[in-house]
Structure 1
Amino acid sequence: MKRDLQNYYRDLRLKIRNADAQMFVAQLARKQEVNSAFFYDFVVNAEGKLMYVFWADATSRKNYKHFGSVVSFDSTYTTNQYDMIFAPFTGVNHHLQSVFFGAAFLLNEKTESYVWLFETFLKAMGGVAPTLIITDEATSIKNGIDEVFPTSVYRLCMWHIMEKLPEKLGLVIREESEFWKRMNACVWGSETVTEFELEWNSIISEYGLEDNEWLTKRFSLRESWIPAYFMDISLAGILRTTSRSESANSFFNRFIHRRLTFVEFWLRFETALECQRQEELIADNSSIHRTPQLVTPWAMEKQGSQVFTYEVFGKFQEQVISARDHCCVQGIAQDEGIKIVTFKTGASRVREVRCDTTTMIANCSCRLFESHGIPCRHIIQVMRIENQKKLPTFYIMERWKKRCKSESVYDEQGNLLEENPTDSLDAAARKKISTVRNKLEDLIQRAKQSDEGMDF
């Protein structure tokens, strides 16, 4: 009954009063006792009050090893009953699902808080910083990133900025459908810097928004959040979509509530995380055991179905079909071993692919492979023009493969990064085996291009 549940929570709060934070940290300690790959750290002040706490379990740390090149960090979630900030790190796995890397509670949003958090996160992840980190807009976060992740590319979350836009406009414009249609196309769809700036200035002028300070500030920060300015950054596109941010918010909102104690939070958090991981296991099973329907006789489509996860293959197959149906070659030229192929698209854009005919590595002006890690229809068509039966391995990213997580992964102390480890070897032996296994895998990848290599 609802009343029974309310009474239970009332009794729980009375029981844990004055010991909630201590019980929470003790639970993290017990997790580490059970599995030495569970990482946590915390700081208390002189009065014994909890200031910061961070944790990442073995599966989260393993996920970071595979998918941590692009990280989303968010500190905008509703705080708990102690007004502490919940700050999770997330990414995208091989099924294009949101995946959890670790999280923290922080007492405040000062620069020193984020410096502590990022340093602790770096320690948990073996000293490997993300290539790209996307965050909400806050000077203290940027200061922390600049100090701890100086080599990481820093970008602002488009979704958070666009979510704030309605409240920054007048009532008349908020109800203007044509404005939203143009603004969304300008922000999300512009492919070049010139295209974005011309359309943005046109919209601002047409709707009389020249004096809107918030929009003026967003334009001054455009290189930090508009995709047209970072199309060349590897995989920057996989975290910028609205659906990705909504997905992450939907997950975290299951267990974030302003009135929750730490103990109540942990109960909800573990349940939600288990559900997220169950979804990944279901997707793993589908990718391994389901055979996608092929729509072309091309060998590279079949190759993709065998290598990519079901979800990534769907994106790849869209490009294969489009290459077959919509790739109209406009011209072909040769320049010192570089084949230059131009295409006319349905949107009246011209795409140019420059292909090194020796290595068969090509670059397309649409930048789909750079931003999403999936070869575009133009590159696929050029491979066919060059009579390539299969895609070069360069275009098959490890992170999108069905079995990308199958190998054992260890941390710096030799702990097996699995939720339920069964390895009884000592840490030094486990680390040595991990190193040898990775080198052997390297050799196999190099050798499999020829029978002679594999025989050797």
Structure 2
Amino acid sequence: MLQVVPMVFTESRHRLCMWHIMKKLPSKISADVLDNTDLRSCIHPLVWNVYIKPETFESRWNDLLQTFGLQDHSWLNDMYNIKHLWVPAYFRELPMCCLMKTTSRCESSNAAFKVNSTSANTLVQFMMCFENRVDSQRYRQRVSEFKTSSTMFTGSTDLAIEQHAFAIYTNVVFAQVQKEIIKGKFLCYITNQSETSDSSLLIDVTHLDKRNNITNVYQVTYNNVDQSASCSCRNFIRIRYLCRHVFCVYRLKNVERIPPQYINDRWRRDALPKHVFSISSRYRVNPHAPSVMRNEILDLVTECVDVARTDEDALAKLVDQLRDFKINVLSRQPLSTTENESNESQMEEIVGQPINIPVEVANPDVARNKGCGTHTRISGPGEKAKAKPPKRPKQLRLCKRCGLYVDDHDSRNCLKVAAMKAAKAAAEQQRQSATGD
């Protein structure tokens, strides 16, 4: 694959799975070194670090080998020779957009289709399983879209840029961006500023860990004209959303909105067109003109609500217009029953809540609850259809021989038993007499 992929996919970059390489660590290094030292806790943060430069990785790698005396370890030296194929420090310049560090993408796809299909299926069966899987994926997408559009903003900081990020990103991406904003406020601070010849600022941002220990210092280039910023950690190039160091600079410069050039379209709330979630795209609808217009009205109202979800004035204006339209429709002359029900259903679809219209309804028959008194309650059809056995008389017991409730005998001394014994004795006596003759 290492030789063929560049020949066939000329624009691609072949990389090795980091998870599989690190999984071999216990089998390649002796248990005495791995269990009795801090090698595991030191090598993982170094290898999986996405912020350091290649030069920093190489120096820290050599220091790690010297600390644990592994300079002559063959497997570690082999992995170091191909470090450009699996260490993220060497991918900093590539716009890989949420780099998959493992083979989980293809493995998850294979597992998804194996749940609904097998290798023994015919082509028709495979297509049916494929449609089921696609429908399940579309359903999860609709659920995610609903959660994104219905979730209310709960900020963790007092920064206006956090609310702007919530308004443009989906829930999943906003959770990641929010972490960067929070860490940019509490775990980063500016140590030095200097101006350049092109009216830009070179700002040094110190990065702290959870224990408030300095981990690294990054340089952010900030332009005062268009509010553009680039960080030496290359987070935006790699993942396509801003890092904590840029948000730290934006907090210093009182930038309240993320610049448009740093908003990736694939992370937006409105990345998918709204007609994908329309009723006509999901269900089989009535082709008649009134039904088509009703569905179009629902789609338009939904789209207006999504567009104005963060604008309180626009939402208030939309509510007033819908209320006026509702009043105008209900103030018409009385219509026939069919037309009235049709208009009522249309208004319920438009407004999104039931419309209460006074209707004279007769009082229902009162039925007493079970156990509330001695009156006979109303029996249901299930109780009427079920055949009930006769009630057992008091102080009587069932004789299993004659099947009667009696109080003078039981199955041991029943008359049937006595009659059977007498008949058996008579038959035996008759047989003996016949034998004697």
Letter of the 2:184 counterpart? A
For 2:77 and 2:260, the matched residues in 1 are separated by 45
Q: Does 1:178 align with 2:45?
A: no
Q: Is the 8 A contact 1:251 1:272 kept in 2?
A: no
Give CA-to-partner distance per residue, 1:17-56, whole Å, 9 cap, x none: xxxxxxxxxxxxxxxxxxxxxxxxxxxxxxxxxxxxxxxx
Q: What residue is the counterpart of 2:168 in the other structure? A: 307
Give CA-to-partner distance per residue, 1:207-241, whole Å, 9 cap, x none: 4544444332221111121111111221355322x
Q: Does 1:397 align with 2:257?
A: no
Cα distance, 1:246 vs structure 2: 5.0
Q: What residue is the counterpart of 2:149 in the other structure? A: 288
Q: Does 1:351 align with 2:218?
A: yes
Aligned length: 270
Q: Is the 8 A contact 2:188 2:248 kept in 1?
A: yes
For 1:268 and 1:205, the matched residues in 2 are separated by 55
Give the alignment of 1:206-355 within 5 angstroms. 206-235=67-96, 237-240=98-101, 245=103, 249=107, 252-253=110-111, 256=114, 261-263=119-121, 266=126, 274-336=135-197, 337-346=199-208, 347-348=213-214, 349-355=216-222
For 1:239 and 1:358, the matched residues in 2 are separated by 35
More divergent stretch after superposition (365-374 vs 333-342): 365-374
* Percent sequence identity over aligned pairs: 25
Give CA-to-partner distance per residue, 1:374-431, whole Å, 9 cap, x none: 212221232343343311101111111112122789xxxxxxxx99999xxxxxxxxx
Letter of the 2:110 counterpart? F
Q: What residue is the counterpart of 2:249 in the other structure? A: 382
Cα distance, 1:184 vs structure 2: 0.5
Tell me which protein shows more strand as a share of its residues: 1
Q: Is the 8 A contact 1:354 1:364 kept in 2?
A: yes
Cα distance, 1:276 vs structure 2: 4.2
Cα distance, 1:194 vs structure 2: 2.4
More divergent stretch after superposition (306-315 vs 192-201): 192-201
For 2:282 and 2:35, the matched residues in 1 are separated by 50
Q: Is the partner of 1:341 in helix, strand or coil? A: strand
Letter of the 2:267 counterpart? W
For 1:153 and 1:320, the matched residues in 2 are separated by 31
Q: Pairwise CA RMSD of aligned residues?
A: 3.4
For 1:359 and 1:420, the matched residues in 2 are separated by 46
Cα distance, 1:176 vs structure 2: 4.5
CA 1:387–1:204 in 2, change beyond 3 Å: closer, same or farther?
closer
Q: Max radius of gyration: which structure?
A: 2
CA 1:178–1:405 in 2, change beyond 3 Å: closer, same or farther?
same
Q: Is the 8 A contact 1:375 1:395 kept in 2?
A: yes
Q: Is the partner of 1:300 in helix, strand or coil? A: helix
Instruction: Please list every run of 5 or more consecutive structure 1 residues that lacks an aligned counterpart in the other structure.
Output: 1-140, 410-417, 423-456
Q: Is the 8 A contact 1:339 1:355 kept in 2?
A: yes
For 1:234 and 1:340, the matched residues in 2 are separated by 23
For 2:45 and 2:67, the matched residues in 1 are separated by 16
Q: Is the 8 A contact 1:332 1:340 kept in 2?
A: yes
Q: Is the partner of 1:331 in helix, strand or coil? A: strand
Q: Is the 8 A contact 1:309 1:400 kept in 2?
A: yes
More divergent stretch after superposition (230-239 vs 359-368): 230-239
Q: Is the partner of 1:370 in helix, strand or coil? A: helix
Cα distance, 1:318 vs structure 2: 1.6
Q: Name the structure, 1 or 2, with higher relative contact order (CA <8 Å, separation 6+).
A: 1
For 1:161 and 1:251, the matched residues in 2 are separated by 22
More divergent stretch after superposition (214-223 vs 248-257): 248-257
Q: Is the 8 A contact 2:185 2:251 kept in 1?
A: no
Instruction: Please list every run of 5 or more consecutive structure 2 residues that lacks an aligned counterpart in the other structure.
Output: 286-437
Cα distance, 1:294 vs structure 2: 1.8
After TM superposition, the score normalised by the length of structure 1 is 0.52
Q: Is the partner of 1:153 in helix, strand or coil? A: coil
CA 1:284–1:206 in 2, change beyond 3 Å: closer, same or farther?
same
For 2:149 and 2:257, the matched residues in 1 are separated by 21
Q: Is the partner of 1:333 in helix, strand or coil? A: strand
Q: Is the partner of 2:175 in helix, strand or coil? A: helix
Query: Which of the numbers 18, 25, 36 marks the counterpart of 1:165?
Result: 25
More divergent stretch after superposition (363-372 vs 334-343): 363-372
Give the alignment of 1:406-425 within 5 angstroms. 406=273
For 2:7 and 2:283, the matched residues in 1 are separated by 35
Q: Is the partner of 1:160 in helix, strand or coil? A: helix
Cα distance, 1:300 vs structure 2: 1.7
Letter of the 2:121 counterpart? V
Cα distance, 1:147 vs structure 2: 1.4
Q: Is the partner of 2:248 in helix, strand or coil? A: helix
Cα distance, 1:313 vs structure 2: 0.7
Q: Is the partner of 1:363 in helix, strand or coil? A: strand
CA 1:278–1:164 in 2, change beyond 3 Å: closer, same or farther?
farther
For 2:133 and 2:38, the matched residues in 1 are separated by 39
